[in-house]
Structure 1
């Protein structure tokens, strides 16, 4: 791939990523309006034609690694393993 082709690909990628962000913003706006309607109706579930919309509260328990690390630093280190990955990025 030539340098010009690479630049074209990067610019095309940037355009698609901008489009994705715009569409995500639009989807979030629509999602928020549906949630607002559900709040107004005080409903966790609504049926609209063939669709059932649910907006429910979910409780979850998460392990507090920061506190555990402070109190049991040696134990934390004993059970920590390193992992490797590759990160793709483009900067100007």
Structure 2
């Protein structure tokens, strides 16, 4: 791939990522509108023609690895494993 093609590809990727960010912000605003309507109506669910929205508390348990590491450093190191990631970053 030539330098010009690389330049065009990177710029197109940045443009698409910008559009995605705009769409995510728009989706968040619409989500907030639906949540506000649910609060106003005092309901955890709404539905209409071909759609249904729910918004309710879900209780779950999570393992607190930071507290476990602080309280049991020896066990933490015994059962921890190292991982490697390779992030792909593009910026302007």
Q: How high is the TM-score relative to the length of structure 2?
A: 0.93
Whether the aligned pair in 1 keeps the contact of 2:68 and 2:76 (CA below 8 Å) is yes
Shift of 1:50: 2.4
Task: Note the C-alpha offset of 1:4.
Answer: 1.3
* Structure 1 residue 45 displacement after superposition: 1.1
Give structure 2 stretches of 5+ with no counterpart.
none
State the number of aligned residues. 92
The Cα of 1:86 is off from its aligned counterpart by 1.8
1:60 CA displacement: 1.2
Distance 2:12 2:46 in 1: 40
Where does residue 47 of structure 1 map in the other structure?
47
2:59 corresponds to 1:59: yes
Secondary structure class of the residue paired with 2:6: helix
**Would the aligned equivalents of 2:46 and 2:53 in 1 still touch at CA under 8 Å?**
yes
- Stretches of structure 1 lacking an aligned partner (at least 5 in a row): none
Q: What is the SS of the residue equivalent to 2:76?
A: helix
Counterpart secondary structure, 1:56:
coil
Q: In the alignment, which residue of structure 1 is the partner of 2:16?
A: 16
